[in-house]
Amino acid sequence: MSLASAIKTGDVAELPGKRDEDWRWTDLRGLVRVLPDASALLDPAGLPAGPFDGLAPQTVIANGRGDARIEVRPGESAEHALRIVARGAGAHAARVSISVAAGGRLRLLESYEGEGGYLSQTSLAISLGEGAVVERIVLAQDDAEAVSVSQAEVTLSPGASFSQTVLTSGARRQRIETRVAHPGGEASLRLNGVYLLADKRHADQTTVVTHAGTDGATVQLTKGVVRDQARGVFQGRIVVSEGADRTDARMGHHALILSDRAEVDAKPELEIYADDVACAHGNTVGALDDEALFYARQRGIPEPEARSMLTAAFVGEVVDRIEHEAAREVVRAWVAERLKG
């Protein structure tokens, strides 16, 4: 049951809804009563520049056309921009396959750019060979009227390193999901996220990490800011399977609610079936620190500017973790733009 299968069959009963535990806060079945026609053809040549233009060779998937495959050979290093672009009010789905062979390195600059009330599903399969290194940076700029789902299945090999930073401003309904098969064996995983939501936008960042072997590490940090009538959802689950001893896994989710009608739903989970592990999670949801705001105003900083500064500092901890310097500056400017006012 998924948005992709609903688009393929035209049957709204295939949509996930609130009766599905993992989708209870991102109810598509209750929202979408009739599936629209397939999205029209869209010529990538007529598109404006994307957020990561000029930083890496790019692949464009326009209205679901152009399934992509990105491969990095053993020992090679590559940078690639992947643009998922949607226009109009139709429905479409796309698949992307990414393979990084043993010892390879990839920086993936992924963006979601949309205009209109479209329904979009993107499925990604990402595999890392032994000792491979991948940094994935996702910048999601869907339309306020869109329904957008991105689902990534990541498979690590021993000694691999995968780091991901997802940043989003939400949509009418949006879910960015990452599932990771972690083999242990000194492989390392870092999952970071930021959601900045206003108006009636919704964003759901869901992750599931399954540790299946000994000596694996996972570090996760997600921060969110919601205002107006926006809704942020964070679901993080780390499973340490039987025998995955000496796993080190840490998860944190922290959110600021800046108005009375905004909402954050969070569900951090640890499922541990192994011995000798070090696992922890933390979750906080609150308002801006009144004392810090008072101190800033005492220094002559106008209140709107002080709020913006404190909020930027709050999410800056995540942004600063992006290793790709040019991409980090793109993201920093994107965050500043959304925190204005």
Give the tokens for residue 257.
């609610």
Query: What are φ and ψ of residue 205, in 5° steps?
Result: -105, 115
In the chain the first and final C-alpha atoms are separated, in Å, by: 40
Query: Residue 297: its pLDDT value, please?
Result: 85
pTM of the model: 0.96
Maximal C-alpha separation, the chain: 61
**Strand ranges, E, within the chain:** 58-62, 68-72, 77-87, 91-100, 105-115, 119-128, 133-141, 147-155, 161-168, 173-182, 188-197, 202-211, 217-226, 231-240, 248-257, 263-272, 278-286
- Tens-digit pLDDT profile for residues 72-124: 999 999 999 999 999 999 999 999 999 999 999 999 999 999 999 999 999 99
Q: How far apart are CA 149 and CA 139, in angstroms?
A: 13
Hey, what amino acid is at 28? L
Residue ranges of the domains in the chain?
A: 36-289
Show the tokens assigned to 278: 């070090």
Neighbours of 15 (CB within 10 A): 24
Q: How far is CA 212 from CA 44, 79, 135, 230, in A?
A: 41, 29, 22, 37
Low-confidence residues in the chain, pLDDT < 70:
341
The pLDDT value given to residue 296: 85
H-only helix segments in the chain: 3-9, 290-298, 303-319, 325-338
